[in-house]
Structures are given as C-alpha cells and as structure tokens.
Amino acid sequence: MIAEAGTQNDLSLCIFPPNKPLEAVLDFSKKPVLYDNLLFVDFNDKGECILGSSNIDSTFWEGTLLFYKNPEKLLTNDHDAHYIFATASDGKFINNTTIALAEETGVLTILSLVDGLLQPIKFFRHCQNIPEIATWKNAPKILTCCDKSVFVWDIDTLERKPYYKFDNFHLSLINSVDVLQNDVNQFLTASNDRKAVIWDTRSDKPAQVLYSNEFSAIKNIKWNQTNTNYIIAGTQAGDVYLLDKREPKDFVAVKHCYESSIHRIAIENNKVAVCGNSTEIITYDCNNATFNSEHRISTHNKFVRSVKWVDNVLYSCGFDKKVIKHDV
C-alpha cells in the first residue's frame, strides 16, 4: 500500500515493501568466527586437529570448521585453515588430508586440505540430520546414520549412492555409530529403541543385537580398539555399560555417571572418558573388565560436547567456548 503523495517526488520517499529496512541479511560470514558452542574436536595421526563450532542459539545457524597444525595452536585458537557452512553435528578425519563433516542439513561433506585451504570435494545427501559419523583407519569409507537407517559411503567412488544401506533394523532413531578400526566389515549402532547392535557386512544376517537396555535409550556407543572384545554404551539415564561381544544380551559392568543423558564416550588404551548434559567429565580405567579409578573433572562451566584421547592426554570442548587439555 502506497501513501498519498502530492507530487511525483513525494513517491520517492515511499519504501516498498514497507518492512524492507527490517529484513535481516542471511548470508554466511566472510571470515571465520569461533562461536561459543563448540561441538566436536578430532585429531589425525600427525597431531593436526579440527574443531567445530556453531551459533545454534541464533536465528540463522552458521558453523565454522577450524583446522590447526598442532594441539598448541588449537588451545590458543591460532587456526591454519577454515570452512564455513550451515552448522554440523560431527566431524572426523578420514586420513591426514581428508575430513568428513556431518552437516545439520543432512549433507555429508568431504573436505580436502589443499595448499593450506579446506576445499569441499564431494557431497553425500541424507534425508535428515546425521547425529554421528565414524571412520575406519586407512580406508576410504565412512559410517553414518540418519533416522532408522545406517549407511556406509565410499569416497573413492564417483557414485553418490551409499556402498551399503541398512533400513529399519532399529525401531527408532539411531543416535550413535562406531567402527572396528582395522576391519571395514564391522561396526556398531545405538538407538532410541534401547538396543546396541553389532554389524558384520560379510554375514547373511549382518545385524545382531548385542545388548538391549530395559529402561533407557542408548545415546552413544564406542568400541575399545585396544581390547576389541569390549564395547561401552551410554544411556539417556546417565549410565555407562561395559559390554562383551562374546557374551551378548548382558553387560559386564555398569556405572551411573549423571542425572542426565550421556553425550559422548572416548576410549584409548583402556582409559575411558565420558561427557553428557553436564559440566563434568568423568574418566575410568577399564583394564580389569570393570570401571575403576573414577576421576571427575570440573573445568568446564557449560555442557561438555566432545572428549578425545590423544597419546593418553585428554582434550575436551563444550558450550563455554573452551578447548581444554587434561593430563589425567
């Protein structure tokens, strides 16, 4: 609607549409921003690292992936390369120069580090958000999950179709995946249907229920790469369960960690670190098939979102914009 105007010059004072000055410009930042919400941290074999951050408490979600040549640069946020995107749930190194990024839009983006720059080289699309991804050691394959489906992608192929896709074995949303690092045929899934499932793609029936919790959804699962008989599952009720693949349907040990959900678990050399919807990190020693030597770390002041062991040193990040190195 245009207001009455006495002359033609008066029309130049009218604004159409009338709310034009209030419209927000929705465009990605030109320079990388380290947002308060740090979502994940990962390291490659050379000690280089990536850090994912996002402004998920804003109207326009934007994420920043930052690459650092060493942990010292990570701790001071002296980044060497960056990639700006919609926002992500997880990111992992595939090898020393290739990174997989799970975006909230359902896109799995493959990035390559070329001449000091992070460049997207491939995209694989899912129908919904990807809660977690996992990568095998020295293999061009990536494990992802979306809704009630689990996917294996081959980044060396020209096709945009999954190498494997398994639908509806789980009855509810899959929350977490992990792999047996040295065997591209074996992996794990955990779901809101309260089941932890172990998979072997060589089998006629590739999925077998490893454990079913009586009360709670399973939010995260990790394979012990040092002693591959053991697997740890974390639940929405705040408990961690030590599972033995040789004794399915039961658990070996259990510990109550939080009065809230488990979010991430990390394992190295039988050392376990757990974070959840809490400011605390809890570590255990699992040498004797039980949870020993509990140690609680309270250096974060908001929820911790990621924990990662590197050569027996623990790194963590969270919603307080902190990356912290812990000598545990």
Indicate whether 191 belongs to any domain.
yes
Indicate whether 14 belongs to any domain.
no
pTM for this model (two decimals): 0.90
C-alpha triplet 265, 139, 150: angle, nearest 5°? 55
Q: What is the count of structural domains for the chain? A: 1
Across the range 169-180, mean pLDDT stands at 98
Q: With DSSP H G I counted as helix, E B as strand and the rest as coil, what are the percentages for the chain, rounded to 5?
A: 5, 50, 45
Indicate whether 240 belongs to any domain.
yes
> Closest Cα partner for 51 from 318, 320, 326, 273?
318
Cβ atoms within 10 A of the Cβ of 232, count?
A: 28
Indicate whether 21 belongs to any domain.
no
Q: What is the CATH number of the domain that holds 172?
A: 2.130.10.10
Indicate whether 17 belongs to any domain.
no
Give tens-digit pLDDT for 228-243. Answer: 999 999 999 999 999 9
Q: Are 303 and 310 in contact (CB under 8 A)?
A: no
CA 127 to chain centre: 17
Indicate whether 25 belongs to any domain.
no
Q: Of 82-86, 218-222, 303-307, where does mean pLDDT reach its minimum?
A: 82-86
Give tens-digit pLDDT for 207-227. Answer: 999 999 999 999 999 999 999
For residue 143, give its domain range: 31-326
The tokens of 82 are what?
């960056």
Q: Are 68 and 91 in contact (CB under 8 A)?
A: no
Indicate whether 96 belongs to any domain.
yes
Cβ atoms within 10 A of the Cβ of 123, count?
A: 12
The contacts of residue 208 (CB under 8 Å, 6+ apart) are: 197, 198, 199, 200, 248
Give tens-digit pLDDT for 104-118. Answer: 889 999 999 998 899
